[in-house]
Amino acid sequence: MDHTKINLLVRLQHLDNQIESIVSLQKGLPEEINALDEDLAFTTRQIESRKKVADDHLKLRQRLQETVNECKDKIAGFKEKQTLARNNKEYDALSKQIEYEEKEIAQAEIQLQDIAHGEQRSQEIQQKGRQLIAENRYDEITEEMMPDDLLGQQLEDLKTQVEQKREELNSIVIETAADVDHLKGKIEDQRKLIEEEAKRLLDKYDHLRSGTLQNAVVKLSRNACSGCNTRVPTNRHTMIVQGGFYLCESCGRIVVHERLFDEAES
């Protein structure tokens, strides 16, 4: 067996492991940032939808108030005309117009009351939420129970957190960028070399690594595959010790003697 081929592959695994350990320095920060971004978007949507409701209420209140004022002006005008009415017919006609405007005012006032009641209700719901928070009963709080000020505070907290995590990640990325580039270059060269010398081994390696598995080539450890801990048959040990490889029957990984990793490192 040509043992130099497997040495080339172990070297590739060694380089890929190095990149992996650099990426692990990021300590799950990219995932944390994604989760915070989602929370941030959710909180922003909540605040925006509350603002929209408040804006709509404000506009409607202003419009209704204008209607009331216009009606009152009209009534005042009609009343003045009534003092100048020349006969009962004219007077009664003006009375009917006043009655109509009064009904308009009454309707607008009912709508204004509805808005006020709605707003009061939502304040009461928020008050309930504040109480639950004070009692640490967070699982009982619904979206609408979250008080406006605490929702705003939550948004600010999330912004600060996500910014800190981003800065932390950026500094790690910047610190390690040169090493990562250097390793990527080495990996590319190594892959080209194996492509020419041992294409089938490289295909096997890539196939093993196509899922979530990172370590396609592993050490023989205590007579077992260190990838899955399945025992390697005794009659294969000699070949492994001699610098050959064994395909684990259980997980399919390529098992080699640990000496080969030491050699790949140097």
Contact criterion met (CB below 8 Å) for 79 and 98: yes
**Per rule CB under 5 A, is residue 240 in the interface with Zn ion?**
no
Picking from 157, 150, 156, the residue whose alpha carbon sits closest to that of residue 128 is 150
**C-beta of 226: minimal distance to Zn ion in Å?**
8
**Per rule CB under 5 A, is residue 36 in the interface with Zn ion?**
no
Q: Quick one: which segment of 100-108, 131-139, 224-232, 256-264 binds Zn ion (CB under 5 A)?
A: 224-232
Task: Give me the sign of the Cα torsion angle 230, 231, 236, 239.
Answer: positive
Q: How far is residue 43's CA from residue 151's CA, in Å, rounded to a whole number?
A: 7
Q: Quick one: which segment of 104-112, 159-167, 177-185, 217-225 binds Zn ion (CB under 5 A)?
A: 217-225
Q: Find the binder of Zn ion among 227, 254, 256, 260 (CB under 5 A).
A: 227
**Per rule CB under 5 A, is residue 250 in the interface with Zn ion?**
yes
Q: Find the binder of Zn ion among 228, 243, 258, 259 (CB under 5 A).
A: 228
Reported in sequence order, the residue ranges of the chain that DSSP labels E, i.e. its strands, are 217-221, 224-225, 246-247, 254-256
**C-beta of 9: minimal distance to Zn ion in Å?**
16
Q: How far is residue 213's CA from residue 229's CA, in Å, rounded to a whole number?
A: 15
Residue 75 or 201: the one with the smaller Cβ distance to Zn ion is 201
Binding mask 135-174 for Zn ion (x = CB under 5 A): ----------------------------------------
Taking each helix axis from N to C terminus, what angle separates 3-23 and 148-197, rounded to the nearest 10 degrees? Answer: 170
CA distances (Å), origin 225, targets 68, 175, 241: 85, 35, 14
Residue 201 or 225: the one with the smaller Cβ distance to Zn ion is 225
Binding site for Zn ion (CB under 5 A): 225, 227-228, 230, 248, 250-251, 253
